[in-house]
Amino acid sequence: MAVKLRLTRSGSKKHPFYRVVAIDSATRRDGRPLEFLGFYNPMSSPVEVRLDQDKIQKWLALGAAPSDTVRSLLKQAKIQA
C-alpha cells in the first residue's frame, strides 16, 4: 500500500478549503483518509495553513510521499519532507 500526503477538497463552490491527509495513493481525491494532518485555506487573507508536525513526521518516517503541493506547504511551515 503506497501512502501519500495530499490535499482533499471541501468547502463550497468557488470557496475551496483543503485538508491535508494521509491516504492510499489508489483512493479517489475525496475518499476516506487514513488520518487528517491539517488544513489549508487559500481564501483567507493571509492564507491560513495549520499542520500537525508530529503526525506528518510520523507518516514521513513510515515512507509516505507528499504531493507537490503538500511539499510546498511543508516548506512554508519549515517541516523536513
Q: Is 40 exposed, middle or buried (0-12, 13-18, 19+ CB in 10 A)?
A: buried
Q: pLDDT per residue over 16-30, tens digit each?
A: 999 999 999 999 988
CA dist 22 and 38 (Å) reads: 10
**Class of domain 3-76 as given by CATH:** alpha beta
Cell 481525491 maps to which residue?
29
Q: pLDDT per residue over 36-81, tens digit each?
A: 999 999 999 999 999 999 999 999 999 999 999 999 999 988 877 6
Domain boundaries, the chain: 3-76
pTM of full prediction above 0.85: yes
